[in-house]
Chain A
């Protein structure tokens, strides 16, 4: 089976990049309101490149000390640890420079597409690079546009664009539901994330559900296999 290349990756990233752009616009507006110049707003997008953390940062900017903003960023982005660990085995054969580069551009969206490619047997580091690039460029350009446009823009989520991400992740998740264990992980994680969202601050619910459901799935599968053999 032929592998996917970076052009294919870039193309596959476009529908998600469109969704990212709506959030980038809103981030740019929020940054502007928090006293950032368009240059500063896009500098943060290029250097940090983490939507939720950037929203939190500009929201905290006026009142919170710098150290607490950095710590909040770290906590919001702890979910990358799980994503990095799960995609790492596919990168065993690429050099350290490639890993450093791919880590730079790994987002929720590009991770989703890249791991789906690897799971289907056609992923590659070039494909991963292509999807990273599409999402990264979209985030940077839309941040700049949002900050430049200022308050002339209306809320894009009213157009149903807030649905783009959940629908994309639904489309990426469904092909992974191959057996009862994976179905259990999906539903279990979904319920845990709702519960966690009620009880925990920020994005902790993703870490709770991601870790809790995946470990439970692995344990249950282990029990089933040892019983049937």
Chain B
């Protein structure tokens, strides 16, 4: 199949995943009377997604669960994340631990 056709298809389905729920859940009426359960659920979604992006990446970076430098770096960065509440400081702290381990 033609390259540009496949790319167009990929672009369309991707855009639909981005836009559909955003449009559906943000109607003025809907957001005024969101049921409390749905509100609690949506409030937990980012936390759950962030965890799913952190845990496998640091606990199983090669696809198998193992305690390696990525895990130690994340654990070292944890108190910094707690204290500063800043993504940038967390990155700096974690990469610093990674390099300290590598050079030690």
Contacts and interface: CB of A to CB of B under 8 A. Distances in A.
Contact of A82 (B10, B31, B40, B49): B49
The main secondary structure of chain A at its interface with chain B is helix
Contacts of B89: 171
B91 to A, nearest CB: 5
Interface in A115-171: 115-116, 119, 160, 162-171
A166 B7 CA distance: 29
B104 interface: no
Interface residues of A, number: 95
10 contacts: A36-B3, A57-B6, A73-B10, A80-B21, A84-B18, A84-B20, A85-B22, A167-B74, A168-B87, A176-B47
The main secondary structure of chain B at its interface with chain A is helix
A5 B61 CA distance: 36
B7 A197 contact: no
Nearest to A120: B85
A209 B15 CA distance: 23
A130 B2 CA distance: 34
A8 to B, nearest CB: 13
B19 A100 contact: yes
Contact of B56 (A48, A173, A194, A213): A194
Contact of B25 (A15, A84, A217): A84
A108 B50 CA distance: 9
B47 A173 contact: yes
A59 interface: no
A174 B44 contact: no
The size class of the interface chain B forms with chain A is 35 or more
A190 B54 contact: yes
A134 B13 CA distance: 23
A206 B58 contact: no
Contact of B63 (A49, A70, A73, A197): A197
Nearest to B71: A166
Contacts of B56: 193-194, 197, 205
A160 B99 contact: yes
Contacts of B41: 214-215, 217-218
Interface string A11-51: 00001100100000000000000001000100110011110
A48 B10 contact: yes
